[in-house]
Structure 1
């Protein structure tokens, strides 16, 4: 009997063991009784997704121990949504007046799905927090799972729990923060760092304290392609906010109170779309304009609906904007599932908000440029003289007429110049390349130099002919060429041109007062009408003045009549077929300097040697090339 009793107890133990263990291996997260969550299938337009709703309330704290036995999740795609329902029918209220100021608190412990840690293949997870107060997420909370996307909807929190999600830095692709109304507690400015797979970040209706983007807001995110921040509070962006984001192509900070253009955009080498619509930008500094020019891949720029102050300080930006070939009104590119927040009814306008007599005047009106140029002082730091609206309208009409006449003259001048060049080629006129090394000169040449310099009274050694995109290079050139030991004098449009004078008058004066002309030739230059006009004027003067080269012993000096010379510097590698007709006609008569960024010291030395040669004149000609 004792033996029988022992066998009975053993059988009971085995039976109890089976009762306890077997259900645990079969529990699905959709089992509401066990997990406390409900599963709902959402479908439409050929797409379906299962959403697991885990309901929060103030009356009960969500019991995460219910997940300890969960071993099954819905087939992909599926989403895990921690959400608070708060009306009498367990539905979200869409009425702002009934939107509660309280939210159910939630603290997510570590390893909430222990039975899924060893699942093969790993479980992919999309995570939502909706209308809850997120206290914290412990590290390794979703251990064993592949977190691909996380979204915070009307979620109260003090900061984004990015440190707790670093475990998923190689899988997390999308982060979204969205609030229906801006009545939540401000959060600390987010910093997204070291997430190697992160592609898209979207933030809407979110207040920050302090209201700025700090250093390394975006840092070491090699996969990031889009960062959108709309209707939030960002007054300022640090100069080092965006670093090591090589594939970021879309950057938007719109309707957020931004007061300055972020200098850090110049660090984003592949940025194609920049949207700063509807902020509080009143003016654009030189550094900010340089940062826009430094974004070499930029294709669209939307800065509409900002309260621009159309004073002399804004004139360089307006001129750049008018000449730019950027798309100035492109809408946000749709990404992920956030595109529905885009306000497609918004009207984009670039207009003056101040001073009063220019209010609502378009920044893209050519008449505004002429008006500001004619009323700004050399310093360009004050508002223009307060003329009436009729004065501006008259000025605008005159400017348009001037532009039309100037364009016609340019076309005619180019045609005549081409004919002249072809005729000179037939007469076999010999031209001289100037990029030669002049190391020693004999006594005769030195004497000729002294005699000729007494007769020639030039204000400048060279006039710099360049596109606006090369302003930064020219700014670097000035101290190198004009400083010790060279002491040359350059004529630069943005420094030496007379403000208010006609552009052609300024160029003509510069050519007459300069010994030589340095052409900085790049891709922007050959597509710009003003640059081509200056090139043709320079070539025309060269044709009428350049002679041969006189040699004496080991020395070499330029012969009389060659006061103005053309020094061509190739900044970009350009095929012959894209060169202007004038340069193609003269390409075998002019020696060019191909600028090499890896050997700049040699290039600077060769350029200064050529300028030094322009000061040397001969006594007599012995040989003509």
Structure 2
């Protein structure tokens, strides 16, 4: 305790000396007297007034949150004489960036000083040493951040709170070239890992071992050029993966194991091959795909169809790539002009200013350089043939020959038109007489003899994706397994031709099937594509020029799972009443529904009984 006798000093000191002593007393009182706006951290001996100390009274402290600067701490043994159980957040920084001081994290000091910490951050302060037990006795720590600390690897001392840590950020460590959790305890509760803005070159096969609950992984702004196989197998529950601003040359095949992924960011790399977007098939929940700013030059028709048929994928960004504008890119140009240009997600986030529009333009050839898809689509993909405006000079020299040639061509053209009409009416009459031939796109198919090899299936099954469990787990085993042994065509999941569009697969499947089963539900009638498929099937059965509407052995079965309004179904169903079987599914009396469905399929299998 500091004692001062003003009477003795006033008698023995001059006035100037008295003023200096008063100034020193005021400075001491400011340092150790508790201010009105902050709260001091009580030391372990605060109960004894004679031994009271104020170790970090210059740190900002509001009761639960502490902010300390390096110049306020004993960096060799920080917080050695402090006990603050009420503190839940600690932020340590270095005010002067030019100050060359390092922080040494000794065994157990932080845990003894702050046993109830939930959040700990080291920001822009150099860490010279982290001992193995530096984070012991901190059982409640959930968030840990290392930002610009000069670390070279992930500290093994993190094992102390592996079971409690939920969010870990180790960023802007320019000397960190690798990442490896192998050999450490399993971080059962870690859901977010941020390793951005380091110097990581490669992701090893066991880099993320033990992170089974990880949902968000950020690896942006590194130098990653290689990702080994199997690296994402331990974190198959990952939902967000950020790999932008790296040096990848291809989309890593190991991402196929991320079946729960929702957001994938591969922008601003050196990727040139999109692999026909085959990885999308392994990610049914993927809603966001970012590939802008890469080296992609072409996207073929198969890749465009994959993007078009991915109904859950709503945020697609492929702008900023040097596309080679030619006829092979026409399908993607059409897709980008119709869907991507009007997408609400076509704004690119910018850290230097406001968001900019995601614009698709040409990088090759030179005559299209910098032009947008909208400007070049008409020139490349829509041909405007120019008719001649004058007779060539060679033909003008012999007008008689020109007239003869014109007459002959006119007669031949007229005869060809007449012959075409005769052939048309002849085959139409044959079709009405024999009722066995239709035009199927590649020639005439005899439906009277379709059983082998034209008819390969007893029934085509079409459903909405929400009814996949009903079709896969109940309908398919019931009908395909003995004793029924029906051959079902499932064009959405199994029996389809790769690269073809869904409607083309539907038409081909109907030609090869005796009947079509449509599983009608509330989700089915609300989905535009499902209703379009049902309308195509009805038109296919009704119109002679599209399909075998006149054949009794081809029919339509509607399995109605949910109550729906008749107005929501195509009007063509009224015309197909003689080939239409409607079955309202009853879960209470399900066996009776199965028997009715089996009898209907048996009738179509034996058309003579219809």
TM-score (norm 1): 0.54
1:39 and 2:59 equivalent? Answer: yes
Structure 1, residues 508-555: CA drift from partner, whole Å, max 9, x if none? Answer: 56534532224466787545545433312323555799xxxxxxxxxx
Measure, in 1, the Cα distance between the counterparts of 2:278 and 2:50.
64
The answer to whether the Cα contact below 8 Å between 2:287 and 2:315 also exists between their aligned partners in 1 is no
1:79 and 2:90 equivalent? Answer: yes
Measure, in 2, the Cα distance between the counterparts of 1:183 and 1:302.
26
Equivalent in 65, 70, 74 of residue 54 of structure 1? 70
1:202 and 2:201 equivalent? Answer: no
The aligned counterpart of 1:376 is none
The aligned counterpart of 1:172 is 165
Measure, in 2, the Cα distance between the counterparts of 1:490 and 1:199.
42
Question: Relative to structure 1, is the Cα distance of residues 589 and 393 closer, same or farther in structure 2, using a 3 angstrom cutoff?
Answer: same
Question: Relative to structure 1, is the Cα distance of residues 308 and 564 closer, same or farther in structure 2, using a 3 angstrom cutoff?
Answer: farther
The aligned counterpart of 2:359 is none
Measure, in 1, the Cα distance between the counterparts of 2:46 and 2:508.
98
Measure, in 2, the Cα distance between the counterparts of 1:63 and 1:19.
22
The aligned counterpart of 1:112 is 109
Larger Cα-atom Rg: 2
Question: Relative to structure 1, is the Cα distance of residues 135 and 144 closer, same or farther in structure 2, using a 3 angstrom cutoff?
Answer: closer
1:154 and 2:145 equivalent? Answer: no
The aligned counterpart of 1:350 is 319
Measure, in 1, the Cα distance between the counterparts of 2:94 and 2:566.
61
The aligned counterpart of 1:34 is none
The answer to whether the Cα contact below 8 Å between 1:239 and 1:263 also exists between their aligned partners in 2 is yes
Question: Relative to structure 1, is the Cα distance of residues 212 and 115 closer, same or farther in structure 2, using a 3 angstrom cutoff?
Answer: closer
The answer to whether the Cα contact below 8 Å between 1:189 and 1:208 also exists between their aligned partners in 2 is no
What is the CA-CA distance between 1:186 and the residue it aligns to? 0.7
What is the CA-CA distance between 1:288 and the residue it aligns to? 0.7
1:532 and 2:545 equivalent? Answer: no
Q: Secondary structure at the match of 2:217?
A: strand
The aligned counterpart of 1:141 is 135
1:365 and 2:334 equivalent? Answer: yes
The answer to whether the Cα contact below 8 Å between 2:221 and 2:245 also exists between their aligned partners in 1 is yes
- The residue correspondences of 1:513-532 to structure 2 (distance < 5 A) are 513-519=512-518, 526-532=525-531
The aligned counterpart of 1:255 is 245
1:30 and 2:49 equivalent? Answer: no
The answer to whether the Cα contact below 8 Å between 1:189 and 1:209 also exists between their aligned partners in 2 is no
What is the CA-CA distance between 1:592 and the residue it aligns to? 6.7
Count of aligned positions: 452
Q: Secondary structure at the match of 2:160?
A: helix
Measure, in 2, the Cα distance between the counterparts of 1:25 and 1:523.
77
- The residue correspondences of 1:234-273 to structure 2 (distance < 5 A) are 234=224, 235-236=226-227, 238-239=229-230, 241=232, 250-258=240-248, 259-260=250-251, 264=255, 267=258, 269=260, 272-273=262-263
Q: Secondary structure at the match of 1:79?
A: strand
Measure, in 2, the Cα distance between the counterparts of 1:367 and 1:19.
71
Q: Secondary structure at the match of 2:80?
A: helix
The answer to whether the Cα contact below 8 Å between 1:205 and 1:232 also exists between their aligned partners in 2 is yes
The answer to whether the Cα contact below 8 Å between 1:159 and 1:190 also exists between their aligned partners in 2 is no
The answer to whether the Cα contact below 8 Å between 1:124 and 1:148 also exists between their aligned partners in 2 is yes
Structure 1, residues 106-150: CA drift from partner, whole Å, max 9, x if none? Answer: 553321157547x7xx35552315342555342363425743422
Higher relative contact order (CA 8 A, sep 6+): 1
- The residue correspondences of 1:471-490 to structure 2 (distance < 5 A) are 488=487, 490=489
Q: Secondary structure at the match of 1:219?
A: coil
- The residue correspondences of 1:450-529 to structure 2 (distance < 5 A) are 458-461=454-457, 462-463=459-460, 465=462, 488=487, 490=489, 492=491, 508=507, 510-519=509-518, 526-529=525-528
Measure, in 2, the Cα distance between the counterparts of 1:498 and 1:394.
30
Question: Relative to structure 1, is the Cα distance of residues 391 and 111 closer, same or farther in structure 2, using a 3 angstrom cutoff?
Answer: closer
What is the CA-CA distance between 1:467 and the residue it aligns to? 6.8
The answer to whether the Cα contact below 8 Å between 1:214 and 1:237 also exists between their aligned partners in 2 is no
Question: Relative to structure 1, is the Cα distance of residues 104 and 610 closer, same or farther in structure 2, using a 3 angstrom cutoff?
Answer: farther
Structure 1, residues 134-178: CA drift from partner, whole Å, max 9, x if none? Answer: 5534236342574342211223333212x5234334543432222
The answer to whether the Cα contact below 8 Å between 2:296 and 2:321 also exists between their aligned partners in 1 is yes
Q: Which has the higher strand share?
A: 1
Structure 1, residues 55-95: CA drift from partner, whole Å, max 9, x if none? Answer: 599xxx9422x64322348x7565242659563xx3xxxxx
What is the CA-CA distance between 1:563 and the residue it aligns to? 1.4
The aligned counterpart of 1:68 is 80
Equivalent in 290, 293, 297 of residue 305 of structure 1? 293
What is the CA-CA distance between 1:455 and the residue it aligns to? 7.6
